[in-house]
Amino acid sequence: MKFSIFVLLSMISGLAGAAGPASSGMSDTLDERVKPCIICHRDADRIDRDAYFPRIAGKPAGYLYNQLRNFRDGRRYYQPMAILLENMSDEYMLEIAQYFASMPYTYPAPVAHTLSSDEIRSVETLMHSGDPKRDLPACSACHGEKLMGVQPHIAGLLGLPHAYLAAQFGGWRNGGIMRGQTPDCMSEIAKKLTQEEVNALVLWLPSQPVSGQSAEANVLTPDLVQRCRTILSEKGGAR
Ligand code: HEC
Ligand code: HEC
């Protein structure tokens, strides 16, 4: 297992060298640049050996771009990617993000859960009403009425596997693990939920059939835009 990661890293560093900053000429193509990425992110989400490899195809471009910057700048930690992204410019990463965002993708089939009717009710309340007493907006207020995300920075919640969802909430809630900008609206929301609520919603979401498309940015109310400004202020790359 250690050996294969080593082999992978040497392949990656060779390819990363070939795909230097964009200023070094136009001979590289996007297909070339993303070769090292595809070694790990083939298409669907999967668990291999000790690591979880999330799907990146079809996620919103601004969301992917922010994650690439998070890995490069140490706000989200996974060493093989940090090495690969170390010398990449924002511009270059934006192009890669757009490439993966427009890649066609088939969602996995819904997975049945064993939640009680009380648990289901509580999850549905979080999804569509939130809890004003805890200053928790509905998930759908930011992730879109159909929970399919809001362009360009907010990813959808359907079609993501349980293990991935559980790991993301673990990252936001556990101070020791980095998962994106902190503080930001999503890490604040994840910390306000109870562990029971998290356990239920990471089972409920994968049971929902995927339908519809991501919403446009204008569905976000000004107070939510303000609340998520660290993430939403990235206009998709231009500095
Ligand atoms: C050695 C395997 C490996 C390589 C190579 C790799 N990734 Fe990753 N990538 C991962 C793993 C594992 C994660 C999940 C890490 C985490 O969440 O802590 C991840 C996460 C991501 C995410 C965040 C996904 C999400 O939904 O939040 C993006 C975007 C991403 N990778 C893009 C890329 C791109 C683009 C490349 C090529 C430049 C690349 N990766 C190369 C393994 C890899
Ligand atoms: C105030 C707005 C807001 C609310 C409300 C909100 N989110 Fe989010 N969420 C975001 C933003 C912004 C991101 C992107 C985070 C990033 O770029 O790191 C995000 C990201 C996520 C992701 C990561 C998706 C991926 O592909 O990795 C999950 C899962 C998630 N939210 C679940 C939820 C759930 C469940 C709720 C309701 C309990 C919720 N969110 C409520 C703003 C919100």
Q: Establish whether residue 186 lines the binding site of ligand 2, counting it when its CB lies within 6 angstroms of any ligand atom.
A: yes
For residues 11 and 5, what is the distance between their CA atoms, to the nearest angstrom? 10
Enumerate residues 6+ apart whose C-beta is below 8 A from 83: 9, 12, 13, 16
For residues 58 and 35, what is the distance between their CA atoms, to the nearest angstrom? 17
Q: Establish whether residue 80 lines the binding site of ligand 1, counting it when its CB lies within 6 angstroms of any ligand atom.
A: yes
Give the atom of ligand 2 at the shortest distance from the alpha carbon of 190.
38
Tokens of 201: 């919603």
For residues 116 and 118, what is the distance between their CA atoms, to the nearest angstrom? 5
CA distance to 25, 154, 203, per residue, from 110 (Å): 45, 21, 11
For residues 18 and 98, what is the distance between their CA atoms, to the nearest angstrom? 20
Mutating to test ligand 1, I would choose from 12, 40, 55, 70 the residue with most ligand atoms within 8 A of its C-beta, which is: 40
For residue 9, how far is its CA from the centre of ligand 2 (angstroms)?
31
For residues 194 and 211, what is the distance between their CA atoms, to the nearest angstrom? 28
Q: What is the chain's pLDDT, residue by residue, as a tens digit (239 residues)?
A: 344 554 555 555 544 444 444 444 445 788 898 999 999 998 888 887 777 899 999 999 999 999 999 999 998 888 999 999 999 999 999 999 999 999 988 899 999 999 999 999 999 999 999 999 999 999 999 999 999 999 999 999 999 999 999 999 999 998 767 788 777 899 999 999 999 999 999 999 999 999 888 999 999 999 999 999 989 986 543 33
Instruction: Give 25: exposed, middle or buried? Use CB within 10 Å, 0-12, 13-18, 19+.
Output: exposed
Q: Establish whether residue 144 lines the binding site of ligand 2, counting it when its CB lies within 6 angstroms of any ligand atom.
A: no
Q: Which ligand is nearest to the CA of 142?
A: 2
pLDDT at 159: 93
For residues 145 and 163, what is the distance between their CA atoms, to the nearest angstrom? 24
Closest CA to 38 of 12, 14, 6: 12
